[in-house]
Every structure is written in C-alpha cells, then in structure tokens.
C-alpha cells in the first residue's frame, strides 16, 4: 500500500516508527538534539577540534591506533569504495569472499576499478569458509588483498575475521574488511587482528543517522595508497587528498565540505557507546539477541543461520508456511504497530524476514514489541 503523497507546501512530519530492520536503527534523542545545533563552518577551529575528537572516538570503537581513522562523508558503500579504490590498481588481483549481498557488492566495486577478482563462494546464510580462502590464496600467489564481510547483513552470518586475517597475513596479502554491521555490535579488534582497511557505517550499531562511513587504514595500507603507480581513479575518495583535510593538524586544506551537523550527531552517538562501555554494548547485543531467538523459537519459527554463525544484530527468521503474502504482513507491522522489519534479499526474498537489533534498537522492549506484533499479524 503506497503512502499518501507528501505535500510540498506543508512541513513534513514523520510517522512514529520503531526501526528493527537491517538499518537505519533508532536514533537516540540526544543524538538528534546534537544535530539540531546551528551549523558552523567546516574549517572553524572549534569544528576542527571536534573532528580530532571524533577521530579519537573512532579509534577506540575500532580498537586501533591507526593514524588514518576518520568518518568518510558518504554511506557505508562509499567506505567500501574508499578501501578498494585506494588499495587496488588496475590489473591487481583481489580475492573476494561472497556469502551474501555485500560480498557481491565488493566484487562489483573491485571489478569497476579494473581489478581481477577471484571469488570465493559460500552459501548464503553461512560464514566464509577459511579453508576455501586458504586454497584460493594458494592458487593465486599474485593476489594483493583479501576482502570479506565480517557481519553479512543480508543473511545474518558472522565470519571469523581474526582467522581470515591471519590466513591472509600468512600469504602476505592485505585485508579489506566490511565492518558496517559488526562495528559496536560484535567484538571487532582492528589492531588485535591486524586488519588493514576496514570500513563501517553510522546507521547500524552506532545508531547515528545514515550518511557517514567510519574508515580506518593500517600503516601498511596507507603506504600502499601512497606508493601507487597510477593515480586513484576517484578524486573525492583519494585518501592522499582526504587526509589533508582530516589530518592536516592546524593547517587543514579544504577538500570538500564535511556534513557538519551529521558529525555533531556521530560525536554524541559515540559518546553514548563510551558511557555504556564498548564491551557492555557487545554483551547487550548478545543478550537481547538470545531473548529474541528464544521468543521466535517459542512461536515455532526457525532461524536461517546456524546458532554458532549468527550475528546478534541481524536475525534472519524463516517465514512460516501458509504466509502467502509476506509483504502484506510487513505492511501491517508498519501501519498497525509502527514497526519496521526487513525483507529477505536475493535468494531469500520472500523466504525470510530480517529483524535488526542494532544499537538503540537493541533492547528488551524492542524484542517484546516485535514478538507481540508478530503474534498478532501471524494469527489472522
Ligand atoms: C548496510 C551495509 C552496507 C552498505 O551501507 P550503506 O550505508 O547502505 O551504503 C555495506 N555492508 C554491509 C554489511 C551493510 O550491512
């Protein structure tokens, strides 16, 4: 059912929603209030000081000392492109693990930049198999990087980033890691696991609005970007230029105009994570996820992903037999309960629902609302 047209002459008023899809997640009023402050100049010394603080906050949430750690202006997909376009030159070989939509997007991005892509396929709904990665690295000694998705939001599968990164290191290749949904949802140790180029997004477990992509590069990755033989194909995403703005000390060079108010919001969202404690945030995601799964299973529903490969923040549940029009049920959840859950993607379209428990949307109250609402719409 389509919504009524929005009147251009009237103030747009949002309906009340509870966000339990694959992102964005609920944004705390504190973050919204921070963003409602007046816009200041993006080179104002006060704003530059805020940028420095945000870089420090991001280092803590990524668990890294990497100098190049910053929020790129753009959604998670831009962070993905930043990693590929800076680290790969045309003709370079990259091994991309594909076990869902976002591994597939990585493959397309790498191909567009002229890389030779070797795909390691795993079934959707399962983790990346380290043995297959090892075999691919042995078959392709020319590979420059290994790319994989830590938490596949399209299916809810968690891959073992620590093991995959160790295998990559043993073969002398860099890692490009999608941590869009894993950051602040499950343990992620950029330095501890020696990951090279990692990107995330603000609208998943960080619970800030969409539009920024935290990115971090190891010293090695930054070196590779600096020593390229060919220029980075993108002017906007060239880290050699972006860092002049984000890391220029007091002498920042204008590169582009950062989304000032979005960064006020990110600062507040990261502050809330630090107030709670990052490890407590991880534990909350795990605890609330187990409550949701117990409730769904008590209703006779089945999860897609095996228990030991699940991410807590995205729960793919099989749509029960007898539901002919699952989209109509999601519309009812939205219209009658103000509750958004996600549809299945790709081969799971029409077969699963994706229930997000990300950041501020990861509470017992959310679980209760979701279970109650599902019981009502599944009854009729
Ligand atoms: C959401 C998501 C992205 C893309 O982020 P956008 O902000 O939508 O561009 C990439 N990878 C994963 C794993 C995601 O969940």
Q: pLDDT value at position 112? A: 98
CB 211 within 8 A of CB 75: yes
Fold that domain 29-273 belongs to in CATH: 3.40.640
Whether 181 lines ligand 1, by a CB cut-off of 6 Å, is yes
Q: So what's the pLDDT on residue 244? A: 87
Q: Which one-letter DSSP state was computed for residue 20? A: E
The confidence band for 198, taking pLDDT boundaries of 50, 70 and 90, is very high
292, pLDDT greater than 80: yes
Task: Please give the pLDDT value at position 247.
Answer: 85
* pLDDT reading at 285 higher than 90: yes
Distance 178 CA to ligand 1 centre (A): 8
Predicted confidence band of residue 3 (pLDDT cuts 50, 70, 90): confident
The C-alpha atoms of residue 87 and residue 197 are separated, in whole angstroms, by 9
Which atom from ligand 1 is nearest to the alpha carbon of 213? 7
Class of domain 18-25+278-379: alpha beta
**Atom of ligand 1 minimally distant from the CA of 80:** 10
Residue range(s) occupied by CATH 3.90.1150.10 in the chain: 18-25+278-379
Confidence band, pLDDT 50/70/90 cuts, at residue 8 = very high
CA distance 87 to 224: 6
The total of other beta-carbon atoms located within 10 Å of residue 167's CB is: 18
**In the chain, pLDDT over 90 holds for what percent of residues?**
95
**Residue nearest atom 14 of ligand 1, based on CA coordinates:** 180
Q: Residue 248 — pLDDT band, cuts 50, 70, 90? A: low
SS (H, E, C) 79-116: HHHHHHHHHCCCCCEEEEEECCHHHHHHHHHHHHCCCE
* Ligand 1 binding pocket mutation candidate from 24, 76, 78 (most atoms within 8 A of CB): 76
Distance CA 202, CA 180 (A): 8
Mean pLDDT rounded to a whole number for the chain: 96
Which residue's CA lies nearest to atom 3 of ligand 1? Answer: 76
- Ligand 1: distance of its center to the CA of 99 in Å? 14
Read off the pLDDT of residues 16-57 as tens digits, 9 standing for 90 and up.
999 999 999 999 999 999 999 999 999 999 999 999 999 999
Under the banding of pLDDT at 50, 70 and 90, the label for residue 251 is confident
The answer to whether 326 and 319 have CB atoms below 8 angstroms apart is yes
DSSP 8-state assignment for residue 339 = E
Taking alpha carbons only, the member of 298, 300, 210 closest to residue 19 is 210
pLDDT digits (tens, 9 = 90+) for 132-158: 999 999 999 999 999 999 999 999 999
Q: Is 344 in the pocket of ligand 1 (CB under 6 A)?
A: no
**pLDDT reported for residue 97:** 98
Rg (alpha carbons) of the chain, rounded to whole number: 21
Q: Stretch 48-68: mean pLDDT, rounded?
A: 97
149 pocket-lining for ligand 1 (C-beta < 6 Å): yes
pLDDT (mean) for 323-345? 97
- If one residue of 75, 156, 180 were mutated to test the ligand 1 pocket, choosing by the most ligand atoms within 8 A of its CB, it would be 180
Q: Would the CB of 69 count as within 6 Å of ligand 1? A: no
**153 in contact with ligand 1, CB cutoff 6 A:** yes
Element (H, E) at 215: strand 212-217
For position 1, what pLDDT does the model report? 57
Confidence grade of residue 260 (pLDDT, cut at 50, 70, 90): very high
Our answer on whether the CB atom of 183 is closer than 6 Å to any ligand 1 atom is no
Whole-number percent of the chain with pLDDT over 70: 99
* Single pTM value for the model: 0.97
- Shortest-distance Cα residue to atom 15 of ligand 1: 153
Rounded Cα distance, 237 and 241, in Å: 8
Looking at the chain, which residues constitute the CATH 3.40.640.10 domain(s)? 29-273
**Ligand 1 atom, smallest distance to 201 CA:** 7
Residue 258 has pLDDT above 90, yes or no: yes
DSSP string, 110-166: HHHTT-EEEEEE--TTS---HHHHHHHHHH-TTEEEEEEESEETTTTEEP-HHHHHH
pLDDT of residue 139: 98
Asked whether 98 lines ligand 1 (CB < 6 A), one says: no
Structure tokens at 376: 């009502």
User: 75-133, pLDDT tens digit by residue?
Assistant: 999 999 999 999 999 999 999 999 999 999 999 999 999 999 999 999 999 999 999 99
pLDDT tens across 88-101, in order? Answer: 999 999 999 999 99
């Amino acid at each position: 059912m389509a919504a009524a047209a929005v009147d251009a002459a009237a103030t747009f008023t949002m309906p009340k929603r509870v966000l339990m899809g694959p992102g964005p997640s609920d944004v705390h009023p504190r973050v919204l209030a921070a963003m409602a402050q007046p816009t200041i100049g993006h080179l104002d010394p006060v704003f530059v000081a805020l940028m420095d603080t945000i870089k420090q906050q991001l280092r803590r949430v990524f668990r890294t000392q990497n100098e190049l750690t910053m929020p790129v202006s753009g959604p998670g997909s831009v962070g993905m492109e930043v990693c590929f376009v800076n680290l790969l030159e045309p003709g370079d070989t990259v091994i991309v693990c594909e076990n869902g939509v976002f591994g597939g997007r990585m493959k397309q991005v790498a191909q567009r930049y002229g890389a030779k892509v070797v795909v390691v396929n795993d079934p959707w709904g399962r983790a990346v198999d380290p043995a297959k990665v090892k075999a691919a690295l042995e078959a392709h000694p020319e590979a420059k990087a290994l790319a994989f998705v830590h938490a596949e939001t399209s299916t809810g599968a968690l891959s073992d980033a620590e093991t995959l990164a160790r295998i990559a290191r043993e073969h002398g290749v860099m890692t490009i890691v999608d941590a869009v949904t894993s950051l602040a949802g499950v343990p992620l140790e950029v330095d501890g696991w020696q990951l090279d180029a990692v990107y995330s997004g603000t609208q998943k477990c960080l619970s800030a609005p969409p539009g920024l992509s935290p990115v971090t590069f190891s010293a090695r990755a930054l070196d590779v970007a600096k020593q390229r033989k060919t220029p980075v194909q993108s002017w906007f995403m060239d880290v050699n230029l972006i860092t002049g703005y984000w890391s220029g000390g007091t002498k920042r060079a204008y590169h582009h105009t950062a989304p000032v108010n979005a960064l006020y919001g990110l600062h507040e969202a990261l502050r809330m994570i630090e107030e709670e404690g990052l490890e407590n945030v991880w534990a909350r995601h795990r605890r609330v996820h187990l409550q949701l799964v117990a409730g769904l299973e008590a209703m006779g529903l089945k999860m897609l992903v095996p228990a030991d490969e699940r991410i807590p923040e995205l729960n793919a549940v099989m749509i029960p037999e007898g539901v002919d029009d699952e989209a109509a049920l999601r519309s009812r959840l939205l219209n009658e309960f103000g509750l958004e859950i996600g549809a299945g993607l790709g081969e799971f379209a029409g077969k699963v629902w994706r229930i997000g428990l990300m950041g501020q949307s990861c509470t017992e109250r959310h679980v209760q609302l979701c279970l109650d609402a599902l019981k009502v719409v599944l009854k009729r």
